[in-house]
Structure 1
């Protein structure tokens, strides 16, 4: 994986799909701040609050570098594409999305219990000047789908197999994907300050071998009882290194 600079936001990113990048890392002299909403905010209201917070901090909207969303239920492949086409309209207005490349990392998962009525904001990240020399980065959510141009059924590891062995391979594939993204920025699990997992499947039997022994739980693991955003995906993760976090 390679990274690309995004000078307007004071960060670099891992190019991926039109709807999101695979991760963002602050430039030297800047740090990433994560802001979590105390309650979920519908997409339009969330974008408005994100803009206000960033501008009140004296930063341009192009400093927006990552977000965490919650959706009512897993999408079909076509439904996910339609949602993403709507989502990137605001990013284009903010000078982030040029019609092809999107520097903003993202996680978008679906709570199994008490889901929101519509796609909503859970948290977001942006860059700000800092004298802190410690690096900061956000790795986007990734699940057990192989890269490539095929459909999800063609790319999902152990498609529709939620047996113990199937779940083990899904977790292993996801952890491997996270490690590839971390290494693109020159980092590993030992550099993270937070790791999050999203699944409704019982992955506890593989935690020691597939997570702890890989170093993913350096700072513990936050498990959200939620599904990945596309039907038939079963296990997703994201991680970050952020020194400044706020709840509003």
Structure 2
């Protein structure tokens, strides 16, 4: 089920208060992705994003997705506290209403040379377009089941780094991406990019669990990074975006 965020000209998949499971531009609009050349700390990043979006003649409500980088994986409580801080700006931008958050997000932790504080890596927003091709951004997801339990209780093959454990984790994450794209009526055949985040070698299952399922249609970008919560080991996100640039 998707919900229309009229003020942003996009649909989204409702999820949790800190992010949605994905966003897709409405007809007559497309998503533009902008990556920072270097990570930008959260407060400065929000300011630069606001300036960029407004310079493009768009309202701040057109902000529909972002990719974050954090210094290290959080505990459950630490992750919640970070998210409570993060959504304050979205509330000021009249995007987050205190309950529902339409903005898709990934937040991962580089294993080598991480930022000193949570920072923006990239962001996406909607803009008018005569291009009829659809565009979407699917939020990052690790190998955790949906629900209100702690991450330890709902993590697939919790703390199991065996080949079979990793295979099951990866299979779950790829299926989550497929399910989320399916909510918008899309699949891997539509995606223009897929990103994976792990410090573990997933090559033994790459062909079977990603390539054969179509996840590598446009290749897969591997970021040597951990998911944002301790003991999660594998995360992915994906997108169909035709306009991308670096600033």
Smaller-chain TM-score bracket: over 0.9
SS of equivalent to 1:191? coil
CA positional deviation for 1:100:
0.1
Partner of 2:211: 212
Partner of 1:151: 150
1:95 aligns with 2:94: yes
Q: Deviations over 1:98-145 (max 9, x none)?
A: 000000000000000000000000000000000000000000000100
CA positional deviation for 1:194:
0.2
Q: How many residues are paired up?
A: 247
CA positional deviation for 1:150:
1.1
Distance, in Å, in 2 between the alignment partners of 1:209 and 1:242 is 26
Q: Deviations over 1:41-100 (max 9, x none)?
A: 000000000000000000000000000000000000000000000000000000000000
CA positional deviation for 1:148:
1.5
TM-score by structure 2 length?
Answer: 1.00
Q: Which runs of 5+ in 2 are unaligned?
A: none
Partner of 2:139: 140
SS of equivalent to 1:106? strand
CA positional deviation for 1:225:
0.1
Distance, in Å, in 1 between the alignment partners of 2:144 and 2:177 is 12
1:245 aligns with 2:240: no
Partner of 1:37: 36
Partner of 1:174: 173
SS of equivalent to 2:212? helix
User: After the TM superposition, which segments of 4 or more aligned residues of structure 1 sit over 2 Å from their partners?
Assistant: none
Between stretches 18-27 and 141-150, larger displacement belongs to 141-150
Distance, in Å, in 1 between the alignment partners of 2:55 and 2:16 is 30
Partner of 1:118: 117
SS of equivalent to 2:7? helix
CA positional deviation for 1:202:
1.0
Distance, in Å, in 2 between the alignment partners of 1:17 and 1:131 is 32
Distance, in Å, in 1 between the alignment partners of 2:199 and 2:74 is 16
Partner of 1:6: 5
Partner of 2:224: 225
SS of equivalent to 2:204? helix
SS of equivalent to 1:206? helix
Distance, in Å, in 2 between the alignment partners of 1:164 and 1:117 is 33
Q: Deviations over 1:136-172 (max 9, x none)?
A: 0000000100111211111000000001111000000
